[in-house]
Amino acid sequence: MKALFLLVALSAALCAQTITEGDVVDSTTGAPLAGAYVSTRVGEETLAANTDSSGHFRLSLSQPLVGGIQVYRAGFLRSSAVGIGPMRVALTPQAAISGKVLDEDGFPAENVVIEALRFRQINSRRQLKSVGGNTQANDLGEYRLAGLPAGRYYLHVTNPGGRHTAQYYPGTLDLREASVIEVKAGEERDVGIQLVKLEAARVAGQVVLPAGATPVHGIAVSLQTVDSPSGAQFHAPMREDGTFTISRVPPGAYVLRAVSGNYPPAASDLLAEQRVEVGAMDVRGIVLNAHPVETVDLAGTVVFEGGAKPRPVVIGIDSCCRIIAARADANGAFVLKALLPVHYSVKWWQPDLAKPGSPEAAHVVLSAARLGDKELPVSDAGFELDGGSAGPLRITFTAGVALSGKVLDEAGRPVAGATVVFLLPLSGINPAPAGTGSEGVFICSPILPGDYRVYVLPDPDHWELTQDPDYLKAHENDFPPVRVNAGANPSLTLHVPAAQQ
């Protein structure tokens, strides 16, 4: 009797299971990939399987697959897939750049840091950004940058604490003279790097302290790059007479800073900051007048426009290590307390989103921010703010517009597999929203009304293309621009040329 009950219970459990299976192959050769790790999350649980020798995997799930699967195998770029029925996941082989870094004497340049940089289109600006992290040369000078998507890269070498100026391959301070290394999917490129002794500028000056001030732990002088791909920072001790010299500074824009404690400073620390543009020549005679840091309370208002219903919003600001947050009250008013005169990133979130029963809460978009009389550039994620101002800060949210549609092939059939549709505003710096979906159907995250260019990414794993200026330029006319109106919008139908599928 007990055995029968167990059998019934077991069959019921088996019936409740769904099987997701498929094959993982090399996208360049079509060859099956054994040992790939396939995982998915069901509720709180991660379910995983490895592909067998024929590249096949089988996941036994207690409920239907919702979020798709993630696939990883050593030597390939990570990938994901959604869909119903048997799946075929094609992994793209990673590219790698490796070699030896030697100094001018042919000695291994141990501990130098090498990064692969690539241009990105971020907030309408073309910026050079690091891809895939950095790596440090070992005691033989060997380095290896792996996990790279196919693309065009610059190599940047920094020598923290060493005697070489940070430089681009092959031994230049000037990006225009740097070599582009183009790698294809799966390519292993050997690039030997010869460090060059480069004359770079010195930044020198003097820190002037308020009368009678004698900071216990002295004053630290640093030079932090603005908009640098590597975020490099240079340090120098302040001499007893207050003078300092920072050597081997490559050209660029910097914030020169003297602070008596750690950064960000605390109230009563001494601080001086100044922007410095460095070219080929030394920058001398800078006077940094350090003064005690004063904190300021910044009052503000949250405003809802364009039909957006007022809802609870938390405004939070972050300067590297400390978050200050305030919740807007019923009138939209908030106060960010005890701000230091430093640079902040401002973010926002909706505390009720995590609670059930707030389905429409996400449908507001940050559309504007104004500090006093000054308009601040915003993206939906937030904006940048220099502390020290009394404000007021006015933050505007607008009702976001939901946009959905279909991606069809030339014959009018839905495009199989995952779809990524990507919209880039024709003006403004709002980030480009993207929508994902399966079997040709997509839903974009809420966006502001306006005119947008439309892109369909060739591969759901190539998100980096949404920031690749070359790709964006080359494909800007693939689809006619769309006008997104406030309120309801018709569903988009996008026909993808055969070559792009």
Partner 1 sequence: MPLALLAGQSEAPVAGIVEGVVTNGVTGAPIAGARVSLEATEAEPLFARTDADGRFQFANVSPGAYGVGAEKPGLQCDYASRCSMSVTLNADRPGATVAISLKPYAVLSGRVTDFNGLPIARSSITLVKVLGLPDNTFYAHVQVLPDGRKVAQAGGSRTNDRGEFRIPRIPPGTYYLVAEKSSESAWEDSANHTTYYPSAPDLASAKPVEIAAGQQVRADIRVIRQEGVRVTGRFLNLAAPAAAAGNYTYTDVTLVPQGNVLTNPGGPFSRSRSEQFELQGVRPGKYTLLAVTREPRGDASGGDQAPKLAASMAIDVPDRGLDGVQVELQPLRDVRGVVSFLDGCSPVPVRVRARCRNQIGPCGAEAVSESGGSFLLEGSGPGRLAINARGEATTDRRLTLVSAKLGDQDVMDNGFDYPFAGDAVLRVVMGCPANGSWK
Write out the residues near partner 1 by the rule CB under 8 A: 34-35, 37, 39, 44-46, 48, 50, 72-75, 94, 96, 105, 107-108, 135, 138-140, 144, 146-147, 163, 245, 314, 316, 322-327, 351, 354-355
Q: Kindly state the smallest distance separating residue 401's Cβ from partner 1, in Å.
A: 28
DSSP string, 84-106: SSSEEEEEPBPEEEEEEEE-TTS
CB closer to partner 1, 45 vs 241: 45
271's CB contacts (< 8 A; 6+ apart) are 257, 258, 259, 260, 265, 290, 291, 292, 293, 341
Residue whose structure tokens are 């190539």: 462
Q: Kindly state the smallest distance separating residue 5's Cβ from partner 1, in Å.
A: 21
CB atoms inside a 10 Å sphere around CB 277:
10
Asked whether 137 and 114 are in contact (CB, 8 A), the reply is yes
494's CB contacts (< 8 A; 6+ apart) are 405, 406, 407, 408, 421, 454, 456, 479
Q: Kindly state the smallest distance separating residue 199's Cβ from partner 1, in Å.
A: 11
Q: Kindly state the smallest distance separating residue 409's Cβ from partner 1, in Å.
A: 33
CB closer to partner 1, 37 vs 479: 37
455's CB contacts (< 8 A; 6+ apart) are 421, 422, 423, 424, 465, 466, 472, 475, 478, 479
Q: Kindly state the smallest distance separating residue 167's Cβ from partner 1, in Å.
A: 17
Q: Kindly state the smallest distance separating residue 49's Cβ from partner 1, in Å.
A: 10
Asked whether 232 and 268 are in contact (CB, 8 A), the reply is no
Q: Kindly state the smallest distance separating residue 316's Cβ from partner 1, in Å.
A: 5
Asked whether 202 and 286 are in contact (CB, 8 A), the reply is no
CB closer to partner 1, 237 vs 307: 237
CB closer to partner 1, 213 vs 320: 320
267's CB contacts (< 8 A; 6+ apart) are 292, 293, 294, 295, 338, 340
Q: Kindly state the smallest distance separating residue 73's Cβ from partner 1, in Å.
A: 7
Side-chain half-sphere of 308: how many Cα atoms within 13 Å? Answer: 26
Residue 484 dihedral angles phi and psi, to the nearest 5°: -100, 120
Cα distance between residue 60 and residue 56, in whole Å = 13
CB closer to partner 1, 231 vs 307: 231
Residue whose structure tokens are 């292993």: 188
CB closer to partner 1, 33 vs 434: 33
CB closer to partner 1, 123 vs 350: 350
Asked whether 202 and 249 are in contact (CB, 8 A), the reply is yes
CB closer to partner 1, 139 vs 190: 139
